[in-house]
Structure 1
Amino acid sequence: MTKLRYKTNYKSEVIDITNDIKEAVIKSGVKNGMAVVFCPHSTASVIIFEKSDTTLKRDLLKTLSEIVPDKEYHHSNAKAHLKAAFLRSNLSLIVDNGSVVLGEWQGIYLVEFDGPRDRDVLVKVVNG
């Protein structure tokens, strides 16, 4: 297993981690199998998302803010937990010929909702 660490800089942000995931797969030596990417935090997520238009990251954060409005909640950082619940904490990626399979316009992202913080992303690559 590979543990990747990221320092987020803002309350909410979208960080491209595609190259780090690809590197972890290469270092694993697995040629064909699966890579599981897991974010062990309840106020952050990992997603596959459009990589060519950076304005979409702002649109994603804006839309999630509309779904989870700025209001009083019972829990102090409930907004961050609720936003993360709409996304996901893990991804399953196909590894083919030593590389992660992604669509032409896809990248892998860590999404922060309660920063700035130090965040871990775990990558486990298995033969298959």
Structure 2
Amino acid sequence: MQKLKFKTNYKSEVIDITNEIKEAVIKSGVKDGIVTVFCPHSTASVIIFEKSDATLRRDLLGMLKDIVPYRDYSHSNARAHLKAAFLRSNLTLIVENANVVLGDWQGIFLVEFDGPRERNVIIKAING
């Protein structure tokens, strides 16, 4: 198991962590198997998303603002928790030849909803 740390800079943002995940898999020594990527925070998520057009990341955040609008919630940062609930806290990916298998346009992203903060992402690579 490896714990990676990421510093977020904004209240909401989408950060490409693909290279850090790939490096962690190489460090794990796993050549063929799976890797689990886990975000242990209730106001952040990890997703697979389109990597080449950053405007789509803004569109994702905009869509989530529409889904979880401003209103008087009973919890102080309820919007962040609710947005994270629409996404994922973990991913399971195939590892082949010590490389994470992704589509041509895919990347791995940390999505922040309650920043700025320091966030952890935990990975566990397993031979298979």
TM-score, normalization by structure 1 = 0.99
What is the distance in 1 between the residues matched to 2:53 and 2:15? 13
Which segments of 5 or more consecutive residues in structure 2 lack a partner in the other structure? Answer: none
What is the distance in 2 between the residues matched to 1:20 and 1:105? 17
What is the distance in 1 between the residues matched to 2:117 and 2:59? 22
Tell me how large the CA RMSD over aligned residues is. 0.4
Moved over 2 A (4+): none
- Secondary structure of 2:69's partner? coil
Q: What whole-Å deviation, never above 9, does each CA across 1:79-116 have from its counterpart, x for those lacking one?
A: 00000000000000000111000000000000000000
What is the distance in 1 between the residues matched to 2:6 and 2:100? 21
What is the distance in 2 between the residues matched to 1:72 and 1:60? 23
- Secondary structure of 1:41's partner? coil
Q: What's the offset of the Cα at 1:118?
A: 0.7
Query: Does residue 11 in structure 1 map to residue 11 in structure 2?
Result: yes
- Secondary structure of 2:48's partner? strand
Q: What's the offset of the Cα at 1:60?
A: 0.1
- Secondary structure of 2:80's partner? helix
Partner of 2:63: 63
Partner of 2:78: 78
Q: What whole-Å deviation, never above 9, does each CA across 1:30-74 have from its counterpart, x for those lacking one?
A: 111000000000000000000011100000000000000011101
What is the distance in 2 between the residues matched to 1:118 and 1:25? 21
Partner of 1:95: 95
Q: Identity across aligned pairs (percent)? A: 76
What is the one-letter code of the residue matched to 2:19? Answer: N
Which segments of 5 or more consecutive residues in structure 1 lack a partner in the other structure? Answer: none
The number of residue pairs the alignment matches comes to 128
